[in-house]
């Protein structure tokens, strides 16, 4: 008998609690020379066994895949979902994938597999409208208008106040009454929670991002730029610097910085399991390069 999604999620939560208990205090991964060396990860034995057994069937579409199905966003038969870690995030994530981005090469799927309740993936041009929630949403994208993560709350509060002023900018209303209403609404807005509730990532090569980034539905959103970090991605984009991160790296590093800069809490590896698949594949590729094993490298692709 197959388990229903709520039961599977509950079982994964229980397993995740055991994973957390087994973690040993370690130096935070972002401070190490090898960013993936000291991650606090769940046991990857399930991936090791799957890699040894080879490809298996997707239980939804029947396709032959390694580790997970990149079209259905589910693990394959050889990787029981209850044996995967379940990561809880402090906010929701929308990933907008370029239609020409190869599904099998996208690391965005890792986030959906490991934090299914918090992550949604959309294929452009099918994306949500964000206008009504622009005071609680941010687009992670570098540029001259981008702000740092630590300044997010300030800019969201400013956005709320600007929205209030625009709302009360009625030329037919007497100026004194308009001013009183505006002051009252501004005071109310200060009491409102200005917590970031959703972040948006663009999943594509850097040469393809412009088409999505310039879409009118994303215009006007608060842009946030990540701190500079080097990628470990094995599919390096030709001609691009090593500070251009893969999607799952960008998500992970954003959350680490958000945890320390916005939530003001010590980071203890809470989101490390987002790199559960990524770190395993990275090690496979690294080992294959050292041994000259072209077949292993082919499998991870």
Q: Which pLDDT value is given to residue 301?
A: 47
Domain boundaries, the chain: 40-84, 87-164+193-294
Residue corresponding to tokens 């540029």? 143
Structure tokens at 106: 């996208």
CA–CA gap between residue 66 and residue 70 (Å, rounded): 10
The average confidence (pLDDT) of the chain is: 81
pTM here is: 0.80
Min mean pLDDT across 61-75, 106-120, 204-218 is at 204-218
CA–CA gap between residue 179 and residue 185 (Å, rounded): 10
Report the candidate in 109, 40, 120, 42 with the shortest Cα–Cα distance to residue 76: 109
Contact 165, 194 (CB under 8 A): no
Q: Which pLDDT value is given to residue 235?
A: 58
Q: How many CA atoms lie within 13 A of 162 on its CB side?
A: 9
Rg of the chain, C-alpha, whole Å: 22
Min mean pLDDT across 143-157, 240-254, 284-298 is at 284-298
The angle at the Cα of 204, spanning 292 to 198, to the nearest 5 degrees, equals: 120
Burial readout 61-90 (b: 16 or more C-beta within 10 A, e: otherwise): eeeebbbbbbebbbbbebbebbbbbbbebb
Report the first-to-last Cα separation within the chain, whole angstroms. Answer: 32
Q: How many CA atoms lie within 13 A of 126 on its CB side?
A: 5
pLDDT at 72 over 60: yes
What dihedral do alpha carbons 79, 42, 87, 249 form, nearest 10°?
-90
Q: Which pLDDT value is given to residue 19?
A: 53
Mean pLDDT (whole number) for 156-166 = 80
Element (H, E) at 65: strand 64-65
């Amino acid at each position: 008998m197959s388990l229903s999604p709520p039961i599977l999620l509950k079982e994964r939560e229980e397993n995740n609690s055991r994973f957390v208990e087994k973690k040993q205090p370690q130096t935070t991964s972002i401070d190490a020379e090898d960013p993936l060396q000291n991650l606090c990860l769940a046991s990857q034995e399930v991936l090791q066994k799957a890699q040894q057994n080879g490809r298996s069937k997707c239980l939804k579409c029947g396709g032959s895949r390694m580790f997970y199905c990149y079209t259905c966003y589910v693990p394959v038969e050889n990787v029981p979902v209850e044996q995967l870690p379940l990561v809880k995030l402090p906010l929701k994530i929308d990933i907008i994938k370029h239609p020409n981005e190869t599904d099998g090469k996208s690391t965005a799927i890792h986030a959906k597999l490991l934090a299914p309740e918090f992550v949604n993936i959309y294929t452009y041009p099918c994306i949500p409208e964000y206008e009504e929630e622009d005071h609680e949403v941010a687009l992670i994208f570098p540029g001259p208008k981008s702000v740092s993560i630590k300044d997010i709350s300030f800019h969201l509060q400013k956005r709320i106040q600007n929205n209030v002023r625009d709302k009360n900018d009625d030329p037919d209303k007497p100026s004194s009454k308009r001013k009183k209403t505006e002051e009252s609404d501004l005071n109310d807005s200060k009491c409102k929670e200005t917590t970031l509730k959703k972040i948006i990532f663009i999943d594509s090569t850097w040469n393809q991002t412009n088409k999505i980034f310039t879409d009118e539905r994303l215009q006007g959103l608060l842009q946030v730029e990540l701190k500079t970090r080097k990628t470990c991605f094995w599919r390096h984009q030709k001609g691009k610097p090593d500070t251009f991160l893969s999607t799952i790296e960008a998500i992970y590093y954003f959350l680490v910085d958000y945890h320390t800069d916005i939530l003001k809490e010590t980071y203890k590896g809470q989101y490390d399991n987002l790199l559960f698949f990524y770190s395993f594949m990275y090690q496979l590729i690294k080992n294959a390069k050292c041994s000259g094993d072209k077949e292993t490298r082919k499998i991870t692709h």
